[in-house]
Amino acid sequence: MSRTINKQRAVYLYQQVVDLIKDMQQHGTLNAGEKLPSLRAMAQKLSVSIPTVQQAYQELERQGVVSAREKSGFYLNAAVLPCSQPKRSRLARSPVAVNKQALIEQVFDGLHQPGVIPLGIANPVAVSATDKVLSRTMRKVMNAAGDQAINYGPLDGFAPLKKEIIGRYLDFAIGVNSDELVITNGAQEALNIALQCVTQMGDIVAIESPCYFGIIEMIESLGLKAIEIPMCPEEGVCADDLARAFAEHDIKACIFSTTISNPLGSQMSDERRQQLVRMIEERGAVLIEDDVYGELAYEHSHAKPAQYFSRKGQVITCSSLSKTAAPSYRVGWMIAGKYAAQARRLKRAISCSSSLMNQWTLYEFMSSGDYDKNLRTLRQRLALNKERMRALVLQHFPEKTRMTNPKGGCVLWLQLPSQYDVIELFHLALDAGISITPGSIFSATDKYRQCVRLSYGIPWSDKVEVAVARLGALCQQVRKG
């Protein structure tokens, strides 16, 4: 350590510990994402009391220098630039038809090119080691069930898996009947079915801005119109803007992520979540809750879903195991409530049933305790990767680049200064073997042309660090003027 504690100084001891850790951060002795010594270890090293170190760590957390993780300790955050959060967009005055298909296809084509560093794909499971556990579990299911496991499954889902999922909602005091829960082929199918349950062609749907591009493409395919509601990078949907949109338009449904949005990584407080649900239900609309990242919040294992605050049954919750267990298994679900009968009919028409083998395997994975064990590891690794990625962006990207500090999930949202062309950056990066996701596909209009989404949901390596540095260098090639 480059500094020591001087008990003769007039400065409080805890403040000296604070200054010491900041000094270590500045000089690279402690790096972003690194765990600080335990309270006891730091106290012994500095010859101060444990309460002194605890007060220092709490002050550092208040200042945003470190983050506390449940049952894990304190970790150093990346240094934060002033005004580092991206600017909130303005409320669109009119709903729009959507046409983003061509650019989205280019992005997906780039993701699957051989040898590409996949900074454009949101696949957090890649940082965990679920593949071996799931392979072993699937073999166990095959040996026990034989031919039964490869037959068609029940139309609304494998009963033991449904019971396991229902039990997890009971932890939030949310009672779900088995016939209200429909197993789907991932959350995407659940969202699609939910939209079809509550809208007709030409209806207006309120979406987040920026919004996950899969939802934008879905709205396009169903012939719906989107009205974009600006998002706060920390707290999610702006309630005042949503109220104005309701006053001006006949909105039939809203698709929002109240716990860990994509791409911002925002998380609503329970108070704001309750206000949001009340507003939507009082206006006769339906909230379709996209909760696919709900279990990947870093500070809390899972905030209350919006479903908890529903009083009129106008909330449909959609989620999946794609981001927490196995994306290729395509196992999701929807709590359809009073729309359950219609949802089951649509599910049968779209895909008949979901893979019984995959459902059975994931049931065994969840009921054994392996799933929750994996979740704890996954959250810790993602939180560490976030700090690493933020530090690299601060080091290599243009001055005045803004970026989010997500509360969960696996992606950063960057806003480059106006003179940089992100679409051109996307193509140059792909030529260099790096995939990114341009911000403009996260809007039904032409917003976010200076924005880019970067994923840190990949195994960390020197190649990743080189790729981020290379992206920063490529930015200089797409600067205009």
How far apart CA 392 and CA 382 sit, in angstroms, is 15
- Side-chain-side CA neighbours of residue 468 (13 Å): 25
pLDDT digits (tens, 9 = 90+) for 247-281: 999 999 999 999 999 999 999 999 999 999 999 99
Q: Is the pLDDT of residue 178 over 80?
A: yes
Equal CATH topology for 13-76 and 101-126+376-478? no
Considering only residues 25 and 353, tell me which one the structure prediction assigns the higher pLDDT: 353
For 195, the enclosing helix (H) or strand (E) is helix 186-198
Of 12-21, 62-71, 258-267, 423-432, minimum mean pLDDT range: 62-71
**Quick one: pLDDT band at residue 145, thresholds 50, 70, 90?**
confident
Q: How many CB atoms lie within 10 A of CB 270?
A: 12
Q: How far is CA 54 from the centre of its chain?
A: 31
- Mean pLDDT computed over 37-52: 91
Q: Are the CB atoms for 112 and 428 separated by under 8 Å?
A: no
**Quick one: pLDDT band at residue 6, thresholds 50, 70, 90?**
low
Give pLDDT, residue 345: 96
Give pLDDT, residue 328: 93
3-class state of residue 455 by DSSP: strand
Angle between helices 422-431 and 462-475 (to 10 degrees): 140
Q: What phi and psi values does residue 384 have, to the nearest 5 degrees?
A: -65, -45
Give pLDDT, residue 255: 98
pLDDT digits (tens, 9 = 90+) for 102-114: 778 888 887 778 8
For 207, the enclosing helix (H) or strand (E) is strand 204-209
473: its two tokens: 């260098």
Please determine, looking at this structure, whether the domain spanning 13-76 carries the CATH number 3.40.50.2020: no
- Sequential DSSP letters for 121-143: ---GGGGS-HHHHHHHHHHHHHH
- Mean pLDDT computed over 91-117: 74
Residues with Cβ within 8 Å of residue 41, at least 6 apart in sequence: none
Give pLDDT, residue 302: 63
**Quick one: pLDDT band at residue 325, thresholds 50, 70, 90?**
very high
Considering only residues 90 and 355, tell me which one the structure prediction assigns the higher pLDDT: 355
How far apart CA 397 and CA 20 sit, in angstroms, is 28
Residues with Cβ within 8 Å of residue 82, at least 6 apart in sequence: none
How far apart CA 62 and CA 60 sit, in angstroms, is 5
Q: What CATH number labels 130-371?
A: 3.40.640.10
Q: Is the pLDDT of residue 160 over 90?
A: yes
Burial class of residue 184, CB neighbours in 10 A (0-12, 13-18, 19+): buried
Q: Is the pLDDT of residue 2 over 50?
A: no
Q: Where are the domains of the chain?
A: 13-76, 101-126+376-478, 130-371
Of 74-88, 205-219, 397-411, minimum mean pLDDT range: 74-88
Considering only residues 2 and 388, tell me which one the structure prediction assigns the higher pLDDT: 388
3-class state of residue 58 by DSSP: helix
* Bond before 210 cis per omega within 30 degrees: yes
Q: Are the CB atoms for 239 and 272 separated by under 8 Å?
A: yes
**Quick one: pLDDT band at residue 94, thresholds 50, 70, 90?**
low
Give pLDDT, residue 147: 81
Tell which CATH classification among 1.10.150.120, 3.90.1150.10, 3.10.20.90, 1.10.3720.10 matches the domain 101-126+376-478: 3.90.1150.10
H helices of 222-355, in order, are 239-248, 270-282, 340-351
**What average pLDDT does the structure give for the chain?**
89
Decide: pTM greater than 0.75: yes
